[in-house]
Chain A
């Protein structure tokens, strides 16, 4: 089955700096890659997603890139703010299976 790895597990950045989280997936058939932000005790919130027919997607301060050949995808957050502090999960999904497999998560701390 699909396996998603994520690095780093923890990340601290100064406010205003950029943060990058990287993920790899194992199943080349995966075609949907969402990123979620989860605050303590809350449900995951989708922040951005990308499909396998697209190499890059941007939404204001957040961007995601996908390298299908290498089976890598990354989340980039620019101009970080304290409210960006949370746990971020990458995930992968095979449309045919309709299930989302999560990476282990990255705890991001933005230091004011």
Chain B
């Protein structure tokens, strides 16, 4: 089946540094990728929609200069958390829509801890 590979699975970084998270569609082309953030015991909150070859669309309240999204190819979308702070510590997960009526597939998630 369609697989989205997400890396890294976990990362610890110092406050003020930047972290890049990658999502690759392995056996299909993902023209659209969605980025979610999930705090402990909470739901998945949509951060932005990443479209190949164009600027990402951010949800209300999400700082686009802090969460940089790049979708330069049909198989790779990246999320960079810039100048990370402890409050950015969360579980970040990507999702790609499959064509036709096949729904969505999720990456395995990235646990970000900012110290």
Residues of A within 8 A of B (CB): 1, 32, 34, 41-44, 46, 49, 51, 89, 98-105
Contact = CB atoms under 8 A, between A and B. Distances in A.
Interface of B: 32, 34, 36, 42-46, 49, 60, 91, 93, 95, 97, 101, 103-104, 106-109, 111
B9 to A, nearest CB: 10
Contacts of B109: 41-43
Nearest to B97: A98
21 contacts: A32-B103, A34-B104, A41-B91, A43-B106, A43-B107, A43-B108, A44-B93, A51-B101, A89-B43, A98-B32, A98-B49, A98-B97, A99-B46, A99-B49, A100-B46, A100-B95, A100-B104, A102-B46, A103-B43, A104-B43, A105-B42
B93 A43 contact: yes
Nearest to B105: A46
B46 A104 contact: no
A1 B103 CA distance: 20
Given A98-B32, A98-B49, A99-B34, A44 B106 contact: yes
A104 B101 contact: no
Q: Which A-B residue pairs are the 4 nearest by beta carbons?
A: A43-B106, A102-B44, A102-B43, A104-B43
Contacts of A51: 101
Given A98-B97, A99-B34, A46 B103 contact: yes
A41 B104 CA distance: 19
A41 B38 CA distance: 10
B111 A41 contact: yes
A68 B33 CA distance: 28
